[in-house]
Chain A
Amino acid sequence: MPYFREEEARAIIQDTYGHVRSDRAAVAEAFYAPEELARLPRGAAELALGVGHPVGHAALQPGEVVLDLGCGAGIDTLLAAFAVGPGGRVIGLDMTPEMAERTQQHAAAADLANVEVREGLIEEIPLSDASVDVVLSNGVLNLSTRKSRALAETMRVLRPGGRVSLSDLILTEALPEDVLKSPAALAG
């Protein structure tokens, strides 16, 4: 049973992620190799909020077009941009304006001209059908109140033979009702 309406959930998530600050890269250091982090602007690593390393599992090839759902501050977007090279393209999509702006800034700081950032919803991806080779996501799908819709949109934008590489949280049992009703738990 959903405890938040879609608009409420979106507002809570945007507020939480729009205001998050960090001056240490503890999350990034848990999932990424030091040599990967060394290539990135510090802010991209300090604001890593994912739960895995979808780029590491995606077997990206030079020239591919990649979409990063919920790109946050851009850690996976930037690593994907390095992997696909100047002949490829990576689109970072985030519904939180502050996060989209951070990815843009970090891509510029890393001198990556093959990154494009869009503000938008993963349930209504602002891309045309069959326009992407690979879709990445890191700790984002669990935040959606319309997961099936987000997956359907992912399928729509992928080219035939396209791939998804998704890291996320799974709950194996129901959380207590008080926790399910908590805005802070929803955003995490």
Chain B
Amino acid sequence: MFGEKAAKGGFKTIEVFDRRSMTLDELAVYPLFTPEFLAWLKRSIPPAQQDRIIYTAHIRGKKDGHV
């Protein structure tokens, strides 16, 4: 989806890599989230979804033309 948006934006030679799932437990290292919020998130997202709903990925693309 991310790559599709980039393609729609006009980028060429788009590469998507390093795609991996991010578990709710991994979010705990981010100081943006309190333990209370993470506990609420775990209660709110069905357990079967928790490890497959969030992914991280890297996209590399190029604008057409030459410098």
Name the contact of A172 in the complex, choosing from B5, B33, B55, B67 (C-beta under 8 A): B55
Q: Which residue of A lies closest to B31 (CB)?
A: A22
A181 to chain B, nearest CB (A): 10
Number of B residues near A (Cβ < 8 Å) is 41
Q: How large is the interface on A (under 10, 10 to 19, 20 to 34, 35 or more residues)?
A: 35 or more
Q: Which residue of A lies closest to B21 (CB)?
A: A172
Which B residues are in CB contact (< 8 Å) with A52?
18, 56-58
Q: Which residue of B lies closest to A164 (CB)?
A: B61
Which residues of B28-67 are within 8 A (CB) of A? 29-34, 37, 41, 44-46, 49, 52-67
Which B residues are in CB contact (< 8 Å) with A17?
32
Q: Which residue of B lies closest to A167 (CB)?
A: B58
Which residues of A10-55 are within 8 A (CB) of B? 16-17, 20-22, 26-27, 30, 47, 49, 51-54
Contact A51/B63 with A20-B31, A152-B9 known, Cβ cut-off 8 Å? no
A65 to chain B, nearest CB (A): 11
A52 to chain B, nearest CB (A): 5
For residue A162, CB closer than 8 A to chain B, the reply is: yes
Q: Which residue of B lies closest to A29 (CB)?
A: B29
For residue A126, CB closer than 8 A to chain B, the reply is: no
The docked-state distance in angstroms from the alpha carbon of A176 to that of B45 is: 7
Which A residues are within 8 Å of any B CB, using their own CB?
16-17, 20-22, 26-27, 30, 47, 49, 51-54, 57-58, 133, 141, 147-148, 151-152, 154-155, 158-173, 175-176, 178-179, 182, 184-185, 187-188
Top 8 A-B pairs, shortest CB-CB distance: A160-B65, A151-B9, A22-B31, A26-B29, A51-B56, A170-B55, A161-B67, A158-B63
